[in-house]
Amino acid sequence: MTAYTAKRLPRQTGAAGWNAILPPQAPLPVLDHDLTADVTIIGGGFAGLSAARRLHQLDPSLKVALLEAGRFAESSAGRNSGFMIDLPHDLASNNYAGSGLEADRAAIALNRKAISFATEVAEDCALPQEMFDPAGKINAAATRAGDRHNRDFAAHLERLGEPHQLLSQQDMQERTGSPHYTSGLYAPGTVMIQPAAYIRALSAHLAGQISVFENTPATEFEKQADGWLVSTPKGRISTARVVLANNGHLESFGFYQRRLMHICLYASMTERLTPEQIKRLGGAPRWSVTPADPMGTSVRRISGSYGDRILIRTCSSFHPAIETSDMRLRNAGWVHDRKFKERFPHLGDVRMEHRWAGMLCLSRNGSAAFGELDQGVYSACCQNGLGIARGTLQGMGIAELVLQGGSEIASHFLAQPMPPKLPPEPFASLGANTFLMWKEWRSGKE
Ligand SMILES: Cc1cc2nc3c(=O)[nH]c(=O)nc-3n(C[C@H](O)[C@H](O)[C@H](O)COP(=O)(O)OP(=O)(O)OC[C@H]3O[C@@H](n4cnc5c(N)ncnc54)[C@H](O)[C@@H]3O)c2cc1C
């Protein structure tokens, strides 16, 4: 009988700051008995939780089980910067613009479906604005090349008929309090989320509708006469269908071998700013900037029940073993401190309280790992860096594929070509890490 065994399980580096600034979370159960289900979802990030919600919407009588290896919101789903982006966001380009107008229009329409779905989640879970904020985002430039990227991207948005506003150096300083930025490009469609709050709320909400388990890694699933048997350390699930929503760890079960790129990103978050520091900083209480050069530094200013803080995200590294090291996190922290000082020279007394790393999964051609992999085994993985919107979308699409045999969203992902193979090791790691270092160096002050 066919069996797929997990060669490795997720291991996180540093505590997810977004989760750490929230009050303690009521635990959800560990699977400690045997169970039967119609569909078992492996992975409780954006894709897994969205798949569960969509399955339940389509058929409330369906028995759905969802397994999360760790605690909810401790994985990348709670470690990201919280930009749920509607516009093209091609990380391989100079300015995020995609390859063509029609393809970009289709991608925007799909991203907005994901945003509508998440907006309903936020309403059902009564998430306050500080945790789900349709505020838009700014592409911030700090060099002449960055200004040019912004103008090029603005021209692309003009052709797409998408609203946007170019901001001057003075506008940027008024909004952010930072003298660092030379221009900005504001677009209103991005929703800024508190990712850990969103994931916690959605997992808790689903726990009232389906069987949701945390600290319950799927270690193997084996073909049976009438479906699959999913094993976890303390219990097993007999299930008709399995949905893999474990992003890069899809490869840990033997699928898409050497076709997925496992990239680690690093972030730091300040301690709560004091009223005096807030005054000294100036600017608006909440704003969010992505860098004009995709390899630059993202910054968020947040304000809410968890205090006024600044998040800074930069540095990346390639790890085929899907985990990084404490040493790399420490090195990234030094870069974060330097980038923070460059942007906020007037906040020299502000310290970082949380630092963390998180994995994301890319393919060389930007394709997802989506569809039916074996009879009754489905995948909704590889979000190519835009996992809040695309993970949500893949989750919706896989549920529609499982229950309805297809949909507009499923067709979009199914039409994508197979991700090409990576070069063998050690060439892939050497090549990718050198490329990332060069791109980061080239992004300079961005
Ligand atoms: C620092 C950082 C900043 C980022 N910023 C952004 C951003 O601003 N916007 C954006 O769109 N994206 C961002 N991303 C990327 C985004 O976080 C990911 O693309 C997204 O989390 C992918 O969603 P997912 O549901 O596919 O996978 P994940 O969120 O990784 O969820 C997969 C889940 O599967 C679980 N799992 C794995 N193996 C097993 C197993 N065997 N059994 C059970 N469970 C298992 C994992 O624990 C995990 O919870 C960022 C990522 C990082 C690290």
pLDDT for 420: 94
280 C-alpha to ligand 1 centroid (Å): 35
pLDDT at residue 97 in the model: 63
Cβ of 80 closer than 6 Å to ligand 1, yes or no, is yes
Dump pLDDT digits (tens) for 196-212. 999 999 999 999 999 99
Cα of 332 vs centre of ligand 1, distance in Å, is 20
Measured at the CA of 412, the angle between CA 406 and CA 417, to 5 degrees, comes to: 115
What's the pLDDT at 437? Answer: 80
Place 443 in a pLDDT band, splitting at 50, 70 and 90.
confident
Q: Whose CA is nearest to atom 52 of ligand 1?
A: 80
Q: Is the CB of 395 under 6 A from ligand 1?
A: no
Alpha carbon of 302 to ligand 1 centroid (Å): 21
Cα 367 to ligand 1 centre (Å): 16
Contact in structure between 72 and 25 (CB atoms under 8 Å): yes
Instruction: Please identify, by atom number, the ligand 1 atom nearest to the C-alpha of residue 46.
Output: 25
Average pLDDT of the chain, as a whole number:
94
Q: Is the dihedral of CA 127, 217, 395, 157 positive or negative?
A: positive
Structure confidence at residue 157 as a pLDDT band (50, 70, 90) = very high
In DSSP notation, 311-338 reads: EEEEEEEE-TTS---HHHHHHHHHHHHH
Q: What is the 319 CA–ligand 1 centroid distance (Å)?
A: 15
The span from the CA of 272 to the CA of 258, in Å, is 42
Distance from the CA of 121 to the center of ligand 1, in angstroms? Answer: 18
* Ligand 1 atom with the shortest distance to the CA of 218: 42
- Alpha-carbon distance of 117 to 50, in angstroms, equals 9
CA of 90 to the centre of ligand 1 (A): 18
For residues 97 and 161, which has the higher predicted lDDT (pLDDT)?
A: 161
Residue of 246, 312, 379 best suited for mutating to test ligand 1, as the one with most atoms within 8 Å of CB: 246
> Is residue 92 pLDDT above 60, yes or no?
no
Q: Ligand 1 center to residue 21 CA distance, Å?
A: 19
Q: What single letter denotes the amino acid at residue 20?
A: A
What's CA 58's distance to the chain center, in Å?
A: 25
Query: Looking at ligand 1, which atom is closest to the CA of residue 358?
Result: 53
Judge if the beta carbon of residue 379 lies within 6 A of ligand 1. no
Beta strands in 168-306 (DSSP E): 183-187, 191-193, 211-213, 220-224, 227-231, 236-244, 261-270, 287-291, 298-304
Q: Is the CB of residue 89 below 6 angstroms from any atom belonging to ligand 1? A: no
Confidence (pLDDT) at 94 = 57
Q: How confident is the model at residue 98 (pLDDT cuts 50, 70, 90)?
A: low
Nearest-atom index, ligand 1, CA of 70: 47
Q: What is the C-alpha to C-alpha distance for residues 250 and 375, in angstroms, rounded to an integer?
A: 16
Give yes or no for residue 259 having a pLDDT over 80: yes
Q: List, in order, residues 6 or more apart from 232 with CB less than 8 Å away.
A: 31, 67, 213, 216, 217, 218, 219
Decide whether any atom of ligand 1 lies within 6 Å of the 360 Cβ: yes
80 CA distance to ligand 1 centroid (A)?
Answer: 8
Pocket test for ligand 1, best of 7, 31, 80, 199 (most atoms within 8 A of CB): 80
Under DSSP, the state recorded for 179 is: S
393, pLDDT greater than 90:
yes
Ligand 1 midpoint to CA 247 (Å): 7
Q: Which pTM value belongs to this model?
A: 0.96
Q: How long is the chain? A: 446
**Cα 103 from Cα 416, distance rounded (Å):** 12
Q: Is 10 in the pocket of ligand 1 (CB under 6 A)?
A: yes
Q: Ligand 1 centroid to 383 CA: how many Å?
A: 9
Whether residue 69 has its Cβ less than 6 Å from ligand 1: yes
